[in-house]
């Protein structure tokens, strides 16, 4: 029993090592080596009838005969990216697509040695940031590629377009003779057919320079970028790189299956931090403040010794479903309360004063407009809801 417990602990530690390497984006060979060690340790544990086995299963409509069409989920992922970026309204965008099989086939017909595929791939991936001449100098000067091979690559990777480019490359005698490239081009042609049906083909560009640095991609790869627009007054040019990316990685999940079964996979990710950077930069250029709270109204007092009245009013607003708050000081200065609203973006202030209490009203102040009106206390909830139901900054 003690030996089994020790072995289970080794399995746990090795599993943590594999997960750590994946998070660090280590090389595929290193990950595969550590996974093999993990599987070997698990095999020593032997069968355990008391535990349910985790079995990887492929979709029911997947079979080797080819009835499963991988381009449908790929097209759906691209549709999702377009819908998200359109709804965010952060500017015009373009989704670039390519296929790792086309890249590898292209390198092969251009004469790149197998051992240099990945390193040349990383150079090509820089074409969205630097010129072709700089990329060529890196491939030739730093990575030892023959100049004529680099020139041959340049003839391909500087091309981009739509389905017409795919059809053009299918007629390329050298590229179409390569099995990998031919498979990739065939899938891309089918992908563009689906993208046309989804109504987003005009947002997609077949870009032969798109390489994506991760080795586990096995098919279609894609990356969404914002199109540069002329900077407005006071606005710096945006340069955040891609805002979404993804691709197909059919060989990744199967690495964790003891029987090595192939599990088709495709996925995407949205660059949330980069999108936030864009939004914040544009708000700063427009001199608009970002709200840091959902509070709709601050309950404030104009004189001292009105804490109990503030607590009564904020409780009434909470009961009515209004997001309200108050400062915790017993006798805060009115100016400090108003400044707090301006700093945090609270749009309304409900001000209680001795005269207001006598008159049965609340002074409702618009922070943005710096305008105040007297509202009868029994009408306050209705008035706040009316104002906060309108677009922001109108109140």
Per-domain boundaries in the chain: 1-45, 61-286, 297-389
Q: What is the pLDDT of residues 342-353, one digit of tens each?
A: 888 899 999 999
- Per-residue confidence band for 255, with pLDDT thresholds at 50, 70 and 90: confident
**What pLDDT does 233 receive?**
41
Q: Given the DSSP bridges, would you call strands 204-207 and 160-161 parallel, antiparallel or unpaired?
A: antiparallel
Its sign, for the CA torsion 122, 124, 130, 135, is positive
- To the question of whether residue 63 is assigned a binding role by annotation, the answer is yes
Phi, psi of 90 (to 5 degrees): -100, 10
E strand or H helix at 95, and its extent?
Answer: strand 93-99
What is the reported pLDDT for 239?
53
> pLDDT at position 132, please?
92
Instruction: Give percent above pLDDT 90 in the chain.
Output: 55
What CATH superfamily is the domain 297-389? Anticodon-binding domain (3.40.50.800)
Ligand-binding annotation for 216, yes or no, is yes
For the question of whether the overall pTM of this predicted structure is more than 0.75, the answer is no
Is 100 annotated to bind a ligand? Reply is no
> Which residues have a Cβ under 8 Å from the Cβ of 312 and sit 6 or more positions away?
none
Q: Quote the pLDDT of residue 262.
A: 78
Residue 21 has pLDDT above 90, yes or no: no
CATH class of the domain defined by 61-286? alpha beta
Is residue 57's pLDDT more than 50?
A: yes
Q: Please say if the pLDDT value at position 229 is more than 60.
A: no
217 labelled binding-site residue = yes
Angle between helix 2-23 and 28-45 (nearest 10): 160
Spell out the residues 6+ positions from residue 359 whose beta carbon is closer than 8 angstroms to its own: 374
Token code pair at residue 250: 């059919």
Q: Which of 108-117, 186-195, 220-229, 337-346 has the lowest mean pLDDT?
A: 220-229
| pLDDT, tens only, 272-304 | 888 888 887 777 776 666 667 889 999 999 999
Q: Which residue has the higher pLDDT, 282 or 108?
A: 108
Q: What is the pLDDT of residue 230?
A: 44
Query: Which band of pLDDT confidence, cut at 50, 70 and 90, is reported for residue 129?
Result: confident
Predicted pLDDT of residue 53: 53
**Alpha carbons 261 and 244: distance in angstroms, whole number:** 29
- Does residue 237 have a pLDDT over 80? no
Mean pLDDT value across the chain? 85
Architecture category of domain 1-45 in CATH: Orthogonal Bundle (1.10)
Q: Is the pLDDT of residue 67 over 90?
A: no
Higher per-residue pLDDT: 238 or 8: 8
């Amino acid at each position: 029993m003690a030996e089994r417990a020790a072995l289970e602990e080794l399995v746990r530690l090795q599993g943590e090592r594999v997960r750590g390497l994946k998070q660090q984006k280590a090389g595929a060979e290193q990950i595969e080596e550590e996974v093999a060690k993990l599987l070997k340790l698990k095999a020593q544990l032997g069968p355990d009838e008391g535990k349910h086995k985790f079995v990887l299963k492929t979709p029911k409509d997947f079979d080797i005969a080819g009835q499963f069409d991988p381009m449908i989920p790929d097209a759906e992922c691209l549709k999702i990216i377009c819908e998200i970026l359109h709804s965010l309204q952060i500017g015009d965008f373009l989704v670039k697509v390519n296929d790792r099989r086309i890249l590898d086939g292209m390198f092969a017909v251009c004469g790149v040695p197998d051992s240099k595929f990945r390193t040349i791939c990383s150079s090509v991936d820089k074409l969205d940031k630097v010129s072709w001449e700089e990329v060529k100098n890196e491939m030739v000067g730093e990575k030892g590629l023959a100049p004529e091979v680099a020139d041959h690559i340049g003839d391909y990777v500087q091309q981009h377009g739509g389905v017409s480019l795919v059809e053009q490359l299918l007629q390329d005698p050298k590229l179409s003779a390569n099995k990998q490239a031919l498979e990739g081009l065939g899938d891309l042609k089918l992908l563009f057919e689906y993208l046309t049906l989804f109504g987003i083909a005009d947002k997609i560009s077949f870009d032969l320079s798109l390489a994506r640095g991760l080795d586990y991609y096995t098919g279609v790869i894609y990356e969404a970028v914002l199109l540069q627009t002329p900077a407005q007054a006071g606005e710096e040019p945006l340069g955040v790189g891609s805002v979404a990316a993804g691709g197909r990685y059919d060989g990744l999940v199967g690495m964790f299956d003891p029987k090595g079964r192939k599990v088709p996979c495709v996925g995407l990710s949205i660059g949330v931090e980069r999108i936030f950077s864009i939004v914040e930069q544009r708000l700063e250029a427009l001199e608009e403040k970002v709200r840091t709270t959902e509070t709709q109204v601050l309950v404030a007092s104009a004189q001292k010794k009105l804490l109990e009245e503030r607590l009564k009013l904020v409780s009434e607003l909470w009961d009515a479903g209004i997001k309200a708050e108050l400062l915790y000081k017993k006798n805060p200065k009115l100016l400090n309360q108003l400044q707090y609203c301006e700093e945090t973006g609270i749009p309304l202030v409900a001000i209680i004063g001795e005269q207001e209490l006598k008159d049965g009203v609340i002074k409702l102040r618009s922070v943005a407009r710096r305008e105040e009106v007297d509202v009868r206390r029994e009408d306050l909830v209705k008035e706040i809801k009316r104002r906060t139901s309108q677009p922001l900054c109108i109140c």
